[in-house]
Each structure stands twice: as C-alpha cells, then as structure tokens.
Amino acid sequence: MATIASSVAYYAFHGMDTFVRLAGGHDLAPLFSDLIRLETELWDLVEARLRRDHDLALSWFEPMQVIDSTPGCRVIDIAEALSITIGGTSKLVDRIEHAGWCARSPNPDDGRSSTIELTRAGRRLLTAAQRTLIDEIGVRLGEPLSTSELQRFAATVRKLRAHLREQRRSA
C-alpha cells in the first residue's frame, strides 16, 4: 500500500512526464521513496536507542567507528567513508573532540593535516555503543528478514553503492 501511495503522491506532484522507468518497465520513483523512508526510519530508531543507552548521537557514532578502524585516520578518510563533505566532517570531528572522545595529533607524513584517534573514554563508549547497535539492527533488520534475504539485501546495497561511487568518479 505504501508503494502505491508513494507512487500516487509522486505523480500528483511531478506529473506523468517524469515517470521513471527501467528497461524492464519498473517504476523507480516509489522504490526511491521507500529507500529514503527506510533509511530515515531506521536512522531514527537506532539514534533513539544510542541516545537513550549511551547519550550518543548516531551522527557521532559513525565517524567514531571510522576513526577506530582507520590507522592514521584523517578528516578526509572519514568524509570518504561516510560519503559526506570534508567541511562537515571537520566540524563533526571538532564536536567529538570537544566531548573528549577523540584527539587530533599532527600528521607525521603531512604537516598540513592531523591524524585522529579515539581517546580511552571514546573507545570505551564506542565499544558499548557497538554492542547496542548490533542488538538494535538485529531487531530492526534481522527479525523480519531471513538470513538469505539479509545476504541478498546486503549484496544489493553494496553493488548499488559501488556503482554510484564509480559514477561519481567518472563525472
């Protein structure tokens, strides 16, 4: 029903001349709308759980994961990993640093930049928050989908993201 409603709302707003179709005849507008809503709804649920259990925003959790998993992490590494702007990433890192969860050091390989590491407190927070994330994602995605459905979904998302990254590089 949501797909039909999304389609009706889309065409009412944009008109039939913007009807988006693949070679196979699939209407992509409702799919796009559903993907956006899924991301928003999932983000909100995970965010609420991280805030409740750890007083941690999901927008801080994500860069903290990148920092923790990237030796010699720089702002550009976080921006690229999360597909966000360098300026926005720098401001985000400033806030995480101000909270005491990460620290910048001069980059030994490039004096114009710095490297970022989690502090001891940041690493403890991230470890606890990762357990919460795994639990929450299990409830939201693992319960309604079978293992094979999750594997197909994950493979499809990876394939689409790789395709989009390649298109961005080519542009």
Q: What is the pLDDT of residues 120-140, one digit of tens each?
A: 999 999 999 999 999 999 999
Closest CA to 70 of 53, 89, 51, 98: 89
Residue 65 and residue 73 in contact, taking contact as beta carbons nearer than 8 Å: no
Pair 97, 148: CB distance under 8 Å: no
Percentage of the chain beyond pLDDT 90 is 74
Which among 42, 39, 63, 75 has a CA at the least distance from the CA of 125?
Answer: 63
Q: SS3 of 117, please?
A: strand
CB 69 within 8 A of CB 58: no
pLDDT tens-place string over residues 68-114: 999 999 999 999 999 999 999 999 999 999 999 999 999 888 878 89
Taken in order 7, 13, 19, 20, is the CA torsion positive or negative? negative
Structural domain spans, the chain: 1-53, 56-171
Fold entry, domain 56-171: Arc Repressor Mutant, subunit A (1.10.10)
Q: Provide the pairing of β-strand 114-118 with 102-106.
A: antiparallel
The angle that helices 58-69 and 75-82 make with each other, rounded to 10 degrees, is: 120
